[in-house]
Amino acid sequence: MKPKHVRMYIRIGCEDSGAAREFLQEHRVRFEEVDIDKNPEALAFVMSVNDGKQRTPTFDVDGHTFHCSHFDPQKLARELGLPLQDEPAPRRSGRA
């Protein structure tokens, strides 16, 4: 079951935020994006839930907060209640 409200706190240029954005779009999760560099209240919130650190992306999902820095698609899927997808198995060459 997909969450009802997903807010992602980001910082422009943050690779982890970009990867999380792509993940959400690929999984058709609707979300609101908030840039902590343009919103002092958002920055204060992010720091308050991350032990004073400016971790991005930080998520507020239906009132549950967590960060995904370094980006981890398995963690994000778990936190969002999405089905976990197995990592692709390494390809073997046709030769033994």
The answer to whether residue 90 scores a pLDDT higher than 90 is: no
Determine, yes or no, domain membership for 56.
yes
Model confidence pLDDT, tens digit, residues 3-30: 789 999 999 999 999 999 999 999 999 9
- Give the angle subtended at the CA of 10 by the CAs of 19 and 45, to the nearest 5°: 140
CATH number of residue 57's parent domain: 3.40.30.10
The answer to whether residue 82 scores a pLDDT higher than 60 is: yes
pTM as predicted = 0.83
CA dihedral 73, 38, 30, 62 (to 10 degrees): 80
Determine, yes or no, domain membership for 95.
no
Determine, yes or no, domain membership for 89.
no
Say if residues 36 and 56 touch (Cβ distance below 8 Å).
yes
Structural domain count, the chain: 1
Determine, yes or no, domain membership for 67.
yes
* Mean pLDDT calculated for residue range 47-67: 96
Selected residue with higher pLDDT from 2 and 16: 16
Partners of residue 13 on adjacent β-strands: none
d(CA 1, CA 5): 12
The domain containing residue 12 runs over which residues? 6-80
pLDDT at site 85: 67
